[in-house]
């Protein structure tokens, strides 16, 4: 089986990028610089662990559950089914119960969020995962869920039900995917986290492999 195309599904990390309200944003700073006479360039970065395309560890909402370094990596690499949903406010069970979703599947949902510019100010009215949809996915036995904005729960939602349902049951959560140019279908994917001990999340370089 040959790789036909590699599709980058990651947000570009840079100062001024869209982040969750209240997060510190992204700041690069120089530790050493060739132009200043140093032997090499060394850059530091100050940013939150939930910046851009990222993974939530159970520790994000449950203390002392698994940190990012202790997660099962099989949740973040393998085959994935990408579904495109025509929904407005949120994804409900009714929207996905007719999809071919089987136990052990990894599923990515492409929604109208994919049309929101990465340069735009944070959009509080993004499409999110309703509690009924999260419960449905848990009952179906999915392995990992990915969505195309910075949270699976709504900005105005109370209780963070989707995070609670999925993370407490060992289901992988990937947020901030860039799926604008991705057609529905089956791909091989990789969204591996950094091995940061004690961390509640990690940015990832997410890719889809389109296979011949």
pTM, two decimals, is 0.96
In sequence order, what are the residues at sequence separation of 6 or more whose Cβ sits closer than 8 angstroms to the Cβ of residue 68?
49, 55, 57, 59, 193, 194, 195, 196, 199, 200, 201, 202
Helix H segments across 105-210? Answer: 131-140, 161-167
Share of the chain above pLDDT 90, in %: 92
Q: Within 10 Å of residue 2's Cβ, how many Cβ atoms?
A: 6
What radius of gyration do the chain's Cα atoms show?
A: 18
Give the model confidence (pLDDT) of 14-58 as tens digits.
999 999 999 989 999 999 999 999 999 999 999 999 999 999 999
Q: What does the alpha-carbon distance between residue 99 and residue 95 come to, in Å, rounded to a whole number? A: 8
Where in the sequence numbering do the catalytic residues fall? 60
Annotation: CATH topology of 3-12+48-211: Glucose Oxidase; domain 1 (3.50.30)
CA angle 159, 165, 166 (to 5 degrees): 125
């Amino acid at each position: 089986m040959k790789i036909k195309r590699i599709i980058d599904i990651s947000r570009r990390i840079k100062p001024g990028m869209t982040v969750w309200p209240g997060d510190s944003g992204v700041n690069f700073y120089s530790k050493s610089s060739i132009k200043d006479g140093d032997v090499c360039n060394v850059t530091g970065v100050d940013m939150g662990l939930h910046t851009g395309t990222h993974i939530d560890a159970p520790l994000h909402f449950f203390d002392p559950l698994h940190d990012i370094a202790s997660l099962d990596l099989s949740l973040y690499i393998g085959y994935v089914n990408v579904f495109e949903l025509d929904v407005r406010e949120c994804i409900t069970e009714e929207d996905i119960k007719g999809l071919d979703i089987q136990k052990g599947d990894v599923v990515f949902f492409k929604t109208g969020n994919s049309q929101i510019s990465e340069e735009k100010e944070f959009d509080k009215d993004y499409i999110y995962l309703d509690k009924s949809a999260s419960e449905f996915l848990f009952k179906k036995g999915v392995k990992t869920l990915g969505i195309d904005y910075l949270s699976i729960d709504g900005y105005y939602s109370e209780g963070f039900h989707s995070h609670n349902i999925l993370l407490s049951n060992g289901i992988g959560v990937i947020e901030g995917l860039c799926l604008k140019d991705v057609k529905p279908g089956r791909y091989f994917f990789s969204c591996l986290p950094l091995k940061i001990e004690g961390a509640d999340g990690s940015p990832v370089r997410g890719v889809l492999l389109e296979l011949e």
